[in-house]
Structure 1
Amino acid sequence: MTLALITPAGRGSHAGNRATATRWAGLLRELGCRVRVIGPEAAPAGCRFDGKSPDLVMALHAWRSHGAILACRQAFPGCPLVVVLTGTDVYRFQHSHPAAFLESLEAANALVGLHDGLDEDLPSRFLPRLHVVHQSALPLPPGAPRPSRRQLDVLVVGHLREEKDPLRAALAVRDLPEDSRLRVVQLGGAHDETWAQAAREEMAANPRYRWLGDLPRWRVRRWMARARLMVISSRMEGGANVVSEACVAGLPVLASDIPGNRGLLGADYAGYFPVADTAALGDLLRRAEAEPAFVEGLRRQVAARAPWFTPEAEREALARVLTACGLHA
């Protein structure tokens, strides 16, 4: 079976779309597929295998891959087409660019979402085509670092851009008492120089905040082992892989109360705060420092979610998508 996987994030990118495409390519190969990962600009020609149409086209990002999706539908009218929905698709471009968004969905034989709450936000006519694939994560390696006893490190992982509300945790620890051990460590590249400058200025003004920039995955995983908490403050998410990673690592999360987080952590999760609410996040951080039982309760909740996020579960979910398209791995 041949499969063309389209992603708007280029080779070498650390963006979530590229990480998802790379991981899925490996899982689909385990299912027996020949997979080619290409950018939208290379479609439809780049989707061909030995000059022949692919057996399936899978496109990440309904809006950014819109042109490629329509081109593939025209070039390969008998080929099943799967569109994978991202957070900016559903929570931004569905409203700001509805025509392109809806055209991509109409062209698809199947839709894939990355969390369990998308049925609240998509037009009902698309729900019969919707499948959920939870992104997987690997356990931390043996011998990973232990959390510091001197500092209570709070980890923020993700690119510095508007959708992530990346400096919210830093703002929440600005005015803590001098004896507090809380420290925010931020990992991720800046979307542009404006965000980089904002992070540098925050470090200069806030001794409890460190921005370490874009680090390789092995170093991110070491920081996950060292941290006591993770903050995910995003304004919108399509089902962030960093949530999966935190759950598998047993790392308690304080998360913005948005569908993309609730769809992974569950409606009853105890660590939510309202979007962009610095005071509410600060209250949760102070409670985490003062009440070890609160942190332990969050740890139990994320650990209970970990079985959702294994590579085996992700591979099986992808296999179900293939079956829904009339293909059998």
Structure 2
Amino acid sequence: MMKFIFKKIRESILTIIILSFGVFMISHLAPGDPLVSVYGSGVERISSEVREQAIEDLALNKPLMYQYGIWVKNSIKGDLGYSYKYKMPVKDVINTHLPNTVLLIGLCLILTFILSIMFGLVAALNEGKLIDRVITRCTTLLYCIPGFWISLILILVFSVNLRMLPSSGVYDIGKENDILNRISHLILPLTVIVIGHLGYYSNFVRNKVLEELKEDYILLARAKGLSKSQIIVRHPLKKIMPSIIILMSLSFSHLIAGGFVVEYIFSYPGLGQLIFESAKYHDYPLLMGGVMLTGIIVVLASLVSDILSSLIDPRLKERGMN
């Protein structure tokens, strides 16, 4: 088992190294002027001498491999660089945005987990009935609709027309300590992300429960006089719970990706919006810091998923060693 874990850790480290190199090269080779982050719209009015001095100060005139080597060396020491746009260390910029993303993604993960089990169990308990068809078809339909389209519809209905919920930000100005105000800003982004993942997970739970109900041990439980709902809660649900947890961890990257897009649409000041913004303005240090942090989180989630999978099903460990 330890050999399997060490192998997965080596693969994770290699993945992070490849990610850092790829992102660094692609971002630096992409068209655009990184000095826009420094001078804003006034970049076109600066003199050639000031431009050359700024490029030299930022080491943008050095070969890319040299710049990458310096970035790796500093990153190992914990120095992620200085943001061109925010004029402050990258770590400080990320620290102000990361809690918002953790809150949003964490709540989405919890809500998706709970609601998918609830809908899946209700559908399984009423197999073939109207409520089963309504749940499976509605959740599947919502799963197929693009998240950005749902976001725009919700903004149009609840923010523009009804004026019930805010369409941007994490709280209103001067209300950073108002919990209800923060919750109101979370409702629409949460709804979009949960809707985008609920259909897949709830149908997975439903189908897994129905498969378990066909097993021989279920006949014994029925012979003891247990009702269908009692059987599902006591036996199939416990048996498929590890599979649900593994599926959620495997899909963690999709959840983060969906959350980042929603952050950008709702102008939610999280890590996703920060990455989009840094890419737009060619703020290389901030872009690298945000992408690498996200990549490490996703790789760690995948590593945990692989270990959990191997503990539950030893056959997966044998395949991973080949």
- The TM-score, its normalising length taken from structure 1, stands at 0.22
Larger Rg: 2
Q: Would you tell me which structure has more strand in proportion to its own residues?
A: 1
TM-score normalised by length of structure 2: 0.22
The higher relative CO (CA closer than 8 Å, separation ≥ 6) is in 2
Q: Counting helix residues as a fraction of each chain, which structure ranks higher?
A: 2
